[in-house]
Chains A and B, each alone.
Chain A
């Protein structure tokens, strides 16, 4: 499925163009700051998600997709990880936590697995694993740079 937000250079399959788009995603910030801590760090306040699925959808007119539905080059913010069998814990430890920004940077020649970039590095996961991650698609940023 295509993400609803227009991705202006979606048609570009050429490696160079894809890389250019990836670069901008890496430069982008990793999601909205939604957790607050006291500077001394002793007692840590935990602020719940500032945007629920509902109002996020209202704000941007977007739909929540699963990560495997995002097209190559599109990015989104993780809303929720529902992976089972300890896989969710591993995904979280690898940085795929709620609020983190992920970009789908490619797919393997056979279509599975996919390659994503998260927290400034590249990770590959199977589509079945990616389908447990719900993301809020966002327009690719900084295409001009």
Chain B
């Protein structure tokens, strides 16, 4: 029987070229999955030409004190604290050779793990171009681990790395001498080491490192990213040790240890690494000077953001129309012909295909957004976006990294919510997720258009003004809600904005597409299941109970009127009447939960125009404009139009968003909260608009 494959973990700082190296080492044979229980990507593959060696990557991190959930997974996997993951047998530590000191910091911790380790100095070409020199043999002797210089993007040094990996010992090893600890920490460390050994939190070779990490008081804070799952007894014991040695949040011994580690790195590099006499300014520095300039920087920023929004709005349109045609016309037509008339055909065509089709239509937008995000990340500009926008976002208590999700929300909240994964702080991320759907997405646009054109006569300036007011209302509300959330239920210490601004690099299309795909496919697989279920429910509400055949003959609106959906519209009429809405609008509101633009088709059916209408349809516009209450008053006065649009701006009428929030937050609590607060907000705002308007005599 063959021996179980060796499992080698790949780990390094963010921006050290980990993914490229991974692809070089495994070829195309990689499998992307999630880490157990969390939405953190995990790539695994077989080392080229060596069937017995499995390679997997760990999330990039700066140190073994995690700042985010994915970094916690890296730490827990390496130390065996993650019950669902097996500890690796060996490590490949990737180091950005152009940023040696800080990259070696993580290496000083990893070498203490006692695993067989290879240190890869990637981007050796940047180092050479600068004129710096690194003596890998000397560094290897000092680290006590093999050091290989590579250029992952060109493949240089990969063969050497493979042969070094073959020769790696399989037993635990002790690398360079362990880092000295200041005397005052010795006792605390000994106490924790004892606890660690007793509770089986580490083995003999990594107990000291585990104990060092547990010196940090933050591991006991449940909300902190560096929290360690301990039993209550162990946590209490650890807390007592911290107290005994006067360790608290303001006095983390790991700060002192970090200083020691940097001093140690200085020792390693002294003699092994020589900087060039004259520093040649790289292209990156010149570009950075321009891109963070007060005038040109802001102009470039606006340009990039404009390009991104244009791409999501316009470039996606042909693809979206194509998908729409393919699913709603072709597929639905084929299914209808094959199965023939009947309830099964109606379920498949109107429920499943139309429902899922309404959502899959967003897929091109999602792909384009993620392609942009991948390109921005790969080029190093993403960090600058956060840097430029942080001054604005921090005023409402958010992080600069919340900007891209908020901006993308103008196109669609679904990819925007998925894009919040880059935000490390849990509270910031939740706040961003909860307010992103308030930004007016592209699905609201047709609703605004039909209402505005039906209600606000011919004055083009008034129309544009009202439209802009709706977009502004959504944005301002989102920022205000963020401010309130950050002061109330998501209150916490202000998250730090300590962010590396990586050097600019030319983005590569291949890896960006790969990354785009691995993010976008989640939407299709995971969210698809919930959306499918919800589509069928909404379809059933409009389909049952059936009207008699004679009634259906009489007019296309009859079935909808007497279905459950129609009854819902009537039941909620007293509730929505104070907003100025009649039951027909109520049906439109209820059916909008499938997707907001469904409002138009529903109105078409309700007003008997037929369901093949869009926002440009003149007949629907006239029908809407001339609709009357039973007592003869007009339904769609300008005030009702505004009230209805305000409702659409603020209400959470989108099951895809709810499904994605459920997926990204991991429970139903947050989507339910989001739905509730947005609906209440929408109702109250519409009420204020309508009743306030009536008081002012605008009705």
Residues of chain A having any CB pair with chain B under 8 Å: 13, 15-16, 18-20, 22-24, 26-27, 30, 33, 35, 37, 40-44, 46, 81, 84-95, 97-98, 100, 106, 108-113, 115, 119-126, 128-129, 145
Contact among B67, B250, B275, B285 with A19 in the assembled complex (CB-CB below 8 Å):
B285
Kindly supply a per-residue 1/0 record for chain B positions 248-272, scoring 1 wherever the CB is within 8 Å of any chain A CB and 0 otherwise.
Answer: 0110101100111011101100000
Stretch of B49-57, B388-396, B547-555, B596-604 lying at the A interface: B388-396
Which residues does chain A contribute within 8 Å of B279, judged by CB atoms?
23-24, 26-27, 145
Check if A106 sits within 8 Å of B292, measured CB to CB. Answer: yes
- B491-506 toward A: CB 8 Å interface, digit per residue (1/0)? 0011011111111000
- A27 in contact with B278 given A86-B224, A89-B255 (CB within 8 Å): yes
By the criterion CB–CB under 8 Å, are A95 and B249 in contact?
Answer: no
Chain A residues with Cβ below 8 Å from B216 are: 86, 89
Are B262 and A97 closer than 8 Å at their CB atoms? yes
In the bound complex, residues from chain A placing their C-beta under 8 Å from that of B258 are: 89, 92-93, 97
Additional A-B contacts beyond A46-B182, A97-B262, A111-B391 (13; CB < 8 A):
A23-B281, A35-B260, A84-B250, A86-B216, A87-B498, A94-B62, A108-B292, A108-B388, A109-B298, A113-B497, A115-B292, A119-B99, A121-B102
Task: Give the 8 A-B residue pairs with the shortest CB-CB distance, closest first.
Answer: A110-B391, A15-B289, A44-B180, A92-B258, A27-B279, A35-B263, A122-B501, A19-B289
Q: Interface centre among A106, A128, A145, by most B CB within 10 Å?
A: A106
- How far does the Cβ of A117 sit from chain B's closest Cβ, in whole Å? 9
Instruction: Write the chain A residue with the least CB distance to B284.
Output: A122
| Residue on B nearest A44 in the bound complex, by CB | B180
Q: Is B383 an interface residue (CB 8 A)?
A: yes
B-to-A contact residues, CB < 8 Å:
62-63, 65, 67, 98-102, 105, 176-177, 179-180, 182, 216-218, 224, 226, 249-250, 252, 254-255, 258-260, 262-264, 266-267, 275-276, 278-279, 281, 285-286, 288-290, 292-294, 296-298, 383, 387-388, 390-392, 394, 400, 493-494, 496-503
A128: nearest residue on chain B (CB-CB)? B494
Contact among B249, B262, B264, B296 with A15 in the assembled complex (CB-CB below 8 Å): B296
A124 touches B101 (CB 8 A): no
In the complex the two chains form, what is the Cα distance from A145 to B275 in whole Å? 15
CA distance A95 to B400 in the complex (A): 22
A121 CA / B123 CA spacing, docked (Å):
15
Closest B residue to A82 using CB positions: B250
State how many angstroms separate the Cβ of B108 from the closest Cβ of chain A: 11
Q: A84-B250, A113-B390, A113-B391 given as contacts; is B500 within 8 A of A122 (CB)? A: yes
Contact between chains at B296 and A93 (CB < 8 Å): no
Q: Residue on B with the closest CB to A142? A: B279
Smallest Cβ-Cβ distance to B67: which chain A residue: A90
- Contact check, B177 vs A129: say whether CB atoms are below 8 A apart: no
Q: What are 17 A-B contacts defined by CB distance under 8 Å?
A: A15-B293, A16-B286, A22-B289, A23-B279, A85-B249, A93-B62, A93-B65, A93-B105, A94-B498, A97-B258, A108-B387, A110-B388, A112-B394, A115-B387, A115-B501, A124-B497, A124-B499
Query: Assuming the A-B contacts A37-B263, A126-B390, are A89 and B275 also in contact, with contact meaning beta carbons closer than 8 angstroms in the complex?
Result: no
* Inter-chain contact B498/A91, CB cutoff 8 Å: yes
Are the C-beta atoms of B177 and A125 separated by less than 8 Å?
Answer: no
**C-alpha gap A97/B257 in the complex (Å):** 10
Distance, CA A81 to CA B281, complexed state (A): 30
Distance, CA A40 to CA B141, complexed state (A): 11
Chain B residues in 8 Å Cβ range of A41: 176-177, 180, 264, 267
- Among A23, A24, A112, A120, point to the contact of B101 (Cβ < 8 A): A120
A35 / chain B contacts, CB cutoff of 8 Å? 259-260, 263, 266
Contact of A87 among B180, B392, B496, B500 (CB under 8 A): B496
Interface contact B65-A43, CB-CB below 8 Å: no
Q: How many A-B residue pairs have CB under 8 A?
A: 181
Inter-chain contact A120/B100, CB cutoff 8 Å: yes
Q: Which residue of A lies closest to B257 (CB)?
A: A92
Kindly state the separation between the CA atoms of A129 and B400 in the bound complex, as whole angstroms.
15
User: Closest A-chain residue to B493, C-beta based?
Assistant: A85
CA distance A30 to B100 in the complex (A): 13
Report chain A residues within 8 Å CB of B180: 37, 41, 43-44, 46
Residues of B within 8 A of A98 (CB): 259
> Measured between C-beta atoms, what is the minimum distance from B27 to chain A in Å?
31
Asked if A109 meets B102 with Cβ closer than 8 Å, knowing A40-B177, A90-B67, A97-B258, the reply is no
CA distance A109 to B501 in the complex (A): 15
Residues of A within 8 A of B177 (CB): 40-42
| Contact call A95/B101, Cβ cutoff below 8 A | yes
Bound state CA distance, A43 and B217, in angstroms? 27
Task: Kindly provide the distance from the CB of A73 to the nearest chain B CB, expressed in whole angstroms.
Answer: 11
* B288 with A19: CB separation less than 8 A: yes
Q: Which residue of B lies closest to A37 (CB)?
A: B267
Closest beta carbon of chain B to A89's beta carbon, Å? 4
Contact residues in B for A120 (Cβ distance below 8 Å): 98-102
Distance of A111 Cα from B267 Cα, bound (Å): 37
Cα A41 to Cα B142 with chains together (Å): 10
Chain A min CB distance to B145 (Å): 14
B252 touching A86, Cβ below 8 Å: yes
Docked-complex contact A145 and B255, CB < 8 angstroms:
no
Q: Given A37-B263, A41-B267: A89 and B500 within 8 A (CB)? A: no
Q: Chain B's nearest CB lies how many Å from the CB of A7?
A: 17
The reply to whether B286 and A19 contact each other, CB–CB distance below 8 Å, is yes
CB distance from B498 to the nearest CB of A (A): 5
Once the chains are docked, how many angstroms separate the CA of A79 from the CA of B671?
A: 47
Complex Cα–Cα for A37 and B266 (A): 10
Q: How far is the CA of A89 from the CA of B387 in the complex (A)?
A: 21
Given A86-B218, A109-B298, A123-B501, A22–B285 Cβ distance below 8 Å?
yes
Structural contact, A129 and B388, CB atoms closer than 8 A: no
**Min CB gap B263→A, angstroms:** 4
Name the distance in Å between A96's Cβ and chain B's nearest Cβ: 9
Within the assembled complex, what's the spacing in Å between the Cα atoms of A40 and B620? 85
CB distance from B128 to the nearest CB of A (A): 15
With both beta carbons as reference points, the residue of chain A lying nearest to B224 in the complex is identified as A86
Bound: A86/B293 CA distance, A:
32
Query: What CA separation (Å) do A115 and B288 show in the bound complex?
Result: 11
Shortest distance from the beta carbon of B282 to any chain A beta carbon, whole Å? 9
Tell whether, in the assembled complex, residue A92 and residue B259 are in contact, meaning their CB atoms are under 8 Å apart. Answer: yes
Which A residue sits closest to B216, measured CB to CB?
A: A89
Beta-carbon nearest neighbor of A42 in chain B: B177
CA distance A26 to B503 in the complex (A): 14
